[in-house]
Amino acid sequence: MRPFVYNALPGRVVFGNGTLSKLPEEVKRIGCSKALVLTTPQQTKEGENARALLGDLAVGVSNSATMHTPVDVTEKAVELATKLGADCLVAIGGGSTTGLAKAIALRTDLPQIVVPTTYAGSETTPIIGQTESGYKTTQKSLKVLPEVIIYDVSLTLTLPPKLVVTSGINAIAHAVEALYSQDSNPMIDNLAEQGISKIARSLPTIVSSPDDLEARSDALFGAWACGTCLGAVGMALHHKLCHTLGGSFDLPHSETHTVVLPHAMAYNAPYASEAMNTIARALGVDKAGKSAALGIFELIQSLGGPLSLKELGMREEDLDRAADIAAGSPYPNPAPLEREKLRKLLGDAWAGKRPE
């Protein structure tokens, strides 16, 4: 057994079907009685339903959550939480809503209960990304780690097939980078392989049979597993590129992760062969002799997911600037980070080229 260091993160997980009904109980369990419910504008209905469920335990709803957690949006939400005297936060939605809850908690230390409706996985991590003046930065702090996560499989039934695919691949990306992280360890390695396998095998079923609760349950469990990997170890090139593309060029979060992942994997493959073998096995493409990067690419293609940055609205003339930003600050990664090679990676992702 190789030497390793593993830090387990605190937190309570309630997983099942219909578990949203436990929300009032969980608010009381953490000693709170004045919850501020957070959502995006698109999920206002879900936020109002949660408020009705909480009754007197809720003091209001904010539907201002936005992609990439803009600082100005957070500041307004903090003002509202203070004005209403909120003593905890209830976030219902995907990564945008969870991000807003984390950003408020960072500034106020309010406890959080997160109810994910996508496979983003950020609810499991002490990591927060925030955008200001066109740049997205990240930091780690236990202040932003949610105290409780309520996974209700029924809430994912309305997740559109297109978002099922991109959200699922986004989750897989967390586990992929955990496997070649400098902080990797046997526990996270096993969880990463399990998470990738659960999601990769459930996505085709969900796309073809959206009401399949077993597949939805497997995908949601896989998202928890992959998110837990993200929270336990450091990330690398893939996440750096996606933060650059999202924060500086306003590309959509999960779609960007979906397009970039095969190319980031191909870039790192020569320096992370053991991790790639594990990923190929989890995807079920190892016996066919396919690379992990090609396996992910073909999975996305078969599910009708986005394959190019061009189709996400990225301008080809912005690729040089993106490469400059991505290469501008050092960060751990298996393969050496060379500006021209990063530019080629981005060019391949822009064109939707099959990874070699």
Distance CA 266, CA 325 (A): 20
Q: Are residues 129 and 35 part of one domain?
A: yes
Q: Would the pLDDT of 247 be above 90?
A: no
Mean pLDDT confidence for 215-244? 94
Note down the domain range covering 166. Answer: 161-351
Given pLDDT bands bounded at 50, 70 and 90, which one contains residue 2?
confident
Q: What are the backbone dihedrals phi and psi of residue 160, each rounded to the nearest 5 degrees, phi first?
A: -60, 145
Q: Are residues 332 and 211 part of one domain?
A: yes
> Is position 283 within any domain?
yes
Q: Would the pLDDT of 136 be above 90?
A: no
- Among 90, 124, 156, the domain boundary falls at 156
> Is position 224 within any domain?
yes
Q: Are residues 167 and 306 part of one domain?
A: yes
> Is position 327 within any domain?
yes
- Weakest-pLDDT range from 3-7, 101-105, 178-182, 316-320: 3-7
Q: In DSSP terms, which residues pair with 137 in a beta bridge?
A: 130
- Among 156, 187, 205, the domain boundary falls at 156
In the prediction, which pLDDT does 34 show? 98
> Is position 135 within any domain?
yes
Q: Are residues 174 and 75 part of one domain?
A: no
Domains in the chain: how many in total?
A: 2
Given pLDDT bands bounded at 50, 70 and 90, which one contains residue 282?
very high
318-342: b (≥16 Cβ within 10 Å) or e: ebeebbebbbeeeeebbbebeeeeb
Q: Would the pLDDT of 180 be above 80?
A: yes
In the prediction, which pLDDT does 236 show? 93
Q: Are residues 185 and 113 part of one domain?
A: no
Q: Would the pLDDT of 24 be above 80?
A: yes
Q: Are residues 210 and 226 part of one domain?
A: yes
Q: Are residues 138 and 50 part of one domain?
A: yes
In the prediction, which pLDDT does 229 show? 95
Q: Are residues 142 and 29 part of one domain?
A: yes
CATH code where residue 314 lies: 1.20.1090.10
- Weakest-pLDDT range from 87-91, 292-296, 310-314, 330-334: 330-334
Mean pLDDT confidence for 35-47? 96
Residue closest to 95 by CA, chosen among 60, 71, 72, 124 = 124
DSSP 40: -
CATH code where residue 45 lies: 3.40.50.1970
Given pLDDT bands bounded at 50, 70 and 90, which one contains residue 289?
confident
Residue range 67-91, pLDDT digits in tens: 889 999 999 999 999 999 999 999 9
> Is position 39 within any domain?
yes
Residues contacting residue 334 through CB under 8 Å, at least 6 positions apart: 180, 236, 268, 271, 272, 275
Distance CA 167, CA 162 (A): 9
Given pLDDT bands bounded at 50, 70 and 90, which one contains residue 174?
very high
> Is position 356 within any domain?
no
> Is position 204 within any domain?
yes
Output the pTM of the full model: 0.92
Residue range 266-280, pLDDT digits in tens: 999 999 999 999 999
Q: Would the pLDDT of 203 be above 80?
A: yes
Q: Are residues 150 and 217 part of one domain?
A: no
In the prediction, which pLDDT does 4 show? 85
Q: Are residues 197 and 118 part of one domain?
A: no
What does pLDDT average to over the chain?
Answer: 95
Q: What is the 3-state secondary structure (H, E, C) of 51-89?
A: HHHHHHHEEEEECCCCCCCEHHHHHHHHHHHHHHCCCEE
Residue 214, judged by CB atoms within 10 A of its CB (0-12, 13-18, 19+), counts as exposed
Q: 6 versus 181: which is more confidently predicted?
A: 181
Q: Would the pLDDT of 1 be above 80?
A: no
Distance CA 251, CA 10 (A): 32
185-212: b (≥16 Cβ within 10 Å) or e: beebbebbbbbbbbbbbbbeebbeebeb
- Among 127, 156, 185, the domain boundary falls at 156
> Is position 291 within any domain?
yes
Q: Are residues 168 and 54 part of one domain?
A: no
Q: Are residues 248 and 313 part of one domain?
A: yes
